[in-house]
Amino acid sequence: MEFILTRYQKLYKKWERIHLEFEQINNGKKLSDNQSEHSKLVFDLFNKDFEIKEEIQLYIESFYLFSKILLDKVAIAIWQYFGRVQEKGLTLSSNDDLTKHLKKYAEIKSINLPDDILIKAQLLRNSISDFRDWQISHERNPERKIKWSRMTILDRGALKLRINRFFSKEKKETIFSHKLNDLQNEIFEYIVLVVKLIKDNRKLTTYTLK
């Protein structure tokens, strides 16, 4: 994830330089007397802009994918650390399961939950897991006739995915991805709470501690 974010930031700076060249051309500061050379310059900039945005889209989608995997692994780690319960279907095999079952699981295991851990887990489910499943992986119901369009655009100082879902000619839904830095910070804050959960309840583990 750190590699993805670093790469994204480098590409964003590269895109900013291209965007600056576009502005200089529009403001008449970077014009060529030769129309052919001018057209070639603009065409090359458009191509570079397109290529960088395509690559940035790949890194944004990859960030969501690996973030979701991380959240699921954290949920499984908690489940393994404190062990299974007898109640059927009460598992922590994913972040989705954790948001549904952690409160009851903690009651059965007599685990003291840190303040806001459930709120934080739910927020991450909404902003990462659900976004990845429903927006990046697309609609999972083959019977629904929905057209999609995705592109990378500048929104509030960051390059984001803009996803349009066309349900009909009259109905359209537009959704933007989140800032990757904001998501990373949310994940770090959540992991701090998970570490506290384990430290505060370490005597309840199924493992043999030294």
Digit-coded pLDDT (tens) for 36-91? 777 788 888 888 888 988 898 889 989 999 999 999 999 999 999 999 998 888 99
Q: List b or e across 185-200, with b for residues whose CB sees 16 or more CB atoms inside 10 angstroms.
A: ebbeebeebbeebeee
Q: For residue 15, what pLDDT band results from cuts at 50, 70 and 90?
A: confident
Rounded Cα–Cα distance for residues 29 and 23 (Å): 8
Most confident of 10-14, 24-28, 97-101, 175-179: 97-101
Give the chain's largest Cα–Cα span. Answer: 79
Among candidates 82, 104, 102, 103, which has minimal Cα distance to 92?
A: 102
What pLDDT score was predicted for residue 192?
97
Digit-coded pLDDT (tens) for 164-199? 777 666 677 788 888 899 999 999 999 999 999 999
Residues written for the chain: 210
The answer to whether 92 and 69 have CB atoms below 8 angstroms apart is: no
Digit-coded pLDDT (tens) for 118-173? 999 999 999 999 888 877 776 555 555 545 456 676 776 778 888 777 766 667 77
Ordered by start, the domain boundaries in the chain are 2-204
Tell me the angle at which helices 95-109 and 117-124 cross, rounded to the nearest 10 degrees: 160
The residue written with tokens 């949310």 in the block is: 186
Q: What is the DSSP string of 47-99?
A: HHHHHHHHHHHHHHHHHHHHHHHHHHHHHHHHHHHH---SSTT---SSHHHHH
188: tokens are: 């770090």
Q: For residue 33, what pLDDT band results from cuts at 50, 70 and 90?
A: low
What pLDDT score was predicted for residue 41?
80
Q: Is 21 helix (H, G, I), strand (E, B) or coil?
A: helix
Q: Is 125 helix (H, G, I), strand (E, B) or coil?
A: helix
Mean pLDDT, the chain, integer: 85
Q: Which residues contact 144 (CB under 8 A, 6 or more apart)?
A: none
